[in-house]
Amino acid sequence: MGKRRKPSPPSRARLAVLTTAVAGGAVLASGTAHAEPAPSLASVKEQVDRLNEEAEQAIERFNGFQEKQQKLQGEANRIQEKVARGQEAMNELRTQLGVVGAEQYRNNGIDPGIQLMLDSDPASYLGRASVQDQVAGSWTNLLKRAQDEQRKLDQERAEAAATLADLDAVGASLNAQKNQIQGKLAQSEALLNKLSAEERAKINAQEAADKAKAAAQQAAAAERAKAAEKEAADKAKAAAKEAAGKGAAATPQTTAPQTTTPQTPAANTPAPVANTPAPPAAGGRAAAIVQFAYAQLGKPYGWSKTGPSSFDCSGLTGAAYRAADVSLPRTSQEQWKVGTRIARGDLQPGDLVFFYPDLHHVGVYIGDGKMIHAPRTGKNIEVLAIGVMPYMGAVRP
């Protein structure tokens, strides 16, 4: 049997090649791991905007659940008060049943026929028998009342249990929505925290530039519409003047034409279009709404807040309408269902304007194509052109 030969150790040259290959692979792997470029400012801004929009959608759902929770809590309290009153009524009926039952037991210990034969005074017995009949009638009536009260009490207890179960379910949904909102806002903040102060300033400047561009485009469109309207009015005026001239030529003139004083050029010059909305009117419901909205400018956005120190979008519109003694639903989607739909060309100060396909954002229209709205977390209540966001429509409650 031959001896096994031990494998010969690798030569120094081979070791050098292997070491170099391994090191090169490590360098290559390390280089690959760090080759991913940092996201651009535009990419970060896009992600932040998307996260904030998703957070606002969740906030409006949260507001809806919160409103439902408050209604359910009020309903549960009302039903529980009814149950307590019903229980008191049952306790009183039980006491009365006990008294009547004891009286019946005492009076019905002997058969009525035997008692009549043994009684030395039949007239006295008949009087007592009448009382016994009354006692028996009271017993029957009390039993019926007790049965009715018990059925009603059982129904109210079942109703209370169902309402409390709904309340628990809504509370769980509230917590889920709250966690989702906080998660979206935390992601947005984490993205912004990775940026330097200079990069943040660039994003803010880009956002301001986008708003200014949208406002300028909207103002230009409004000017074109006004120019077209004026041109049509001038044409109609010229046509009417021409028709009047032809009529005057056909009819002999009996009186000398009156001279008119020419107007100064300033009187014919249309007033310049202001870059900012005109102040609200002195009175009326719309003025109260707009004046309230103006008074909130600069206050911070606060999700699920309805004032007075901070607001979310539907919280601001609801508070503005409360200032005019008008009650609105809590969420933007529900506010959309209240009142009359208004065409964009017929907007008036005080109207509600809605944005995004799911209507998760709302503001108060103040005229000149602008609104006052509560934008999002980290921002303050501001004036903004309605063309900046995807416009869906308007309502006049």
pLDDT, residue 263, reads: 41
For residues 28-45, give the mean pLDDT: 60
C-alpha to C-alpha distance for 350 and 289, rounded to whole angstroms: 6
Lowest mean per-residue pLDDT among 65-79, 249-263, 359-373: 249-263
What are the two backbone dihedrals, phi and then psi, of residue 157, each rounded to the nearest 5 degrees?
-65, -40
List the catalytic residues: 313, 361, 373
Residue 311: strand pairing partners: 301, 306
Element spanning 348, H or E: none
Q: Residue 326's closest CA among 350, 356, 359, 299?
A: 350
Are 356 and 388 spatial neighbours (Cβ–Cβ below 8 Å)?
Answer: no
Give the model confidence (pLDDT) of 328-345 as tens digits. 999 999 999 999 999 999
Are 293 and 364 spatial neighbours (Cβ–Cβ below 8 Å)?
Answer: yes
> 353: exposed, middle or buried (C-beta count within 10 Å: 0-12, 13-18, 19+)?
buried
Give the model confidence (pLDDT) of 211-249 as tens digits. 777 767 766 766 776 777 677 777 777 777 777 776 655
- Of the CA atoms within 13 Å of residue 252, those in its CB half-sphere come to 1
115/85: higher pLDDT: 85
**389 band by pLDDT with thresholds 50, 70 and 90:** very high
The reported pTM is 0.60
Answer yes or no: is pLDDT of 117 > 90. Answer: no
133/82: higher pLDDT: 82
Cis before 308? omega within 30: yes
pLDDT, residue 309, reads: 96
Residue 117 three-state SS: helix
Answer yes or no: is pLDDT of 255 > 70. Answer: no
**CA 305 vs CA 60, 198, 301, 330, 351: distances in Å:** 11, 32, 8, 11, 21
C-alpha to C-alpha distance for 296 and 374, rounded to whole angstroms: 9
Give the rounded percent of residues in the chain with a pLDDT score beyond 70.
67
pLDDT, residue 248, reads: 59
Q: What residue type is 205 in one-letter code? A: A
Give the model confidence (pLDDT) of 120-175 as tens digits. 555 554 555 555 555 556 657 766 777 777 888 788 888 888 888 888 888 888 88
- The token pair at 314 is 């539907």
